[in-house]
Homo-oligomer: A and B are copies of this chain.
Amino acid sequence: MGAVLQRDADRTRRALLDAAAAAIRAHGPGVSLDAVAREAGVSKGGLLHHFRTKDTLLVGMVEEWTARFDAAVQRHVDPDDDRPGRLCRAHIRAAFDDLGVDDQLWGHPSVLTALLAVPEVLHRARASEDRWRSDLGADGLHPQRSLLIARTLDGVWMSELLEGRVDHSERQQTRDLLLGLTEQTGPLLPGTTDARRDRS
């Protein structure tokens, strides 16, 4: 038969995930399965075949999302860079260059809202966050730096999400600032020489 199959489960599945994001943007976090199915050009029954419940669909969306982000970070790791903070830098670049809220289908408050409403999604998000926390912690930078950078990236993301618009100049400045902060390994503040401060 032809290279283009009329039935391609994988393609349909991915189409449904994208359609879900689009439908949520259009109809808000409370989209109906009907709307998603319609957006994907599939019947409701077809949707339910791939995702047996609505929550399953939303969980599928986070999986897709985290997979994309992980891949983006890997893509941004500079092979010629072997200084401390290389993963941090890749993380920063991925966050700023690949996760633009502008054109991104997923970067929309409604999508976030819809996803966070599912407990299982929260679990996944937390697990992912834990992984990043430990990976970035072992990146060779002073804890003050990696901590500040990680939180700032979260903040930028959430801020852009809430604001709904992006100040490109500010965005660029923040990006450069964070990258600059990875270029030294010492503490950010004078007087605090090390993270180990237990005196008991």
**Residues in A lying within 8 Å of B, measured CB to CB:** 28-30, 109-110, 112-113, 116-117, 122, 125-126, 129, 143-144, 147-148, 150-156, 158-159, 162-164, 170, 173-174, 177, 180-181, 188-189, 192, 195
Contacts and interface: CB of A to CB of B under 8 A. Distances in A.
Nearest to A153: B155
A25 to B, nearest CB: 13
Contacts of A109: 116, 122
A4 B150 CA distance: 50
A110 B116 CA distance: 7
Contacts of A156: 151, 154-155
A158 B122 CA distance: 12
A181 B187 CA distance: 12
A135 to B, nearest CB: 16
B125 A162 contact: yes
Work out how many copies of this chain go into the complex. Answer: 2
A23 to B, nearest CB: 15
- Pick from A147, A148, A155, A156 the residue with the most CB of B within 10 Å: A155
A164 B18 CA distance: 28
A147 B174 contact: yes
B163 A159 contact: no
Contacts of A154: 154-156, 158-159
Contacts of A189: 177, 180-181
Contact of A113 (B116, B148, B158, B162): B116
A60 to B, nearest CB: 18
Contacts of A122: 109, 162, 164
Given A116-B112, A155-B150, A155-B158, A126 B164 contact: yes
A187 to B, nearest CB: 9
Contacts of A153: 155
Nearest to A180: B189
A148 B144 contact: no
Contacts of A129: 159, 162-163
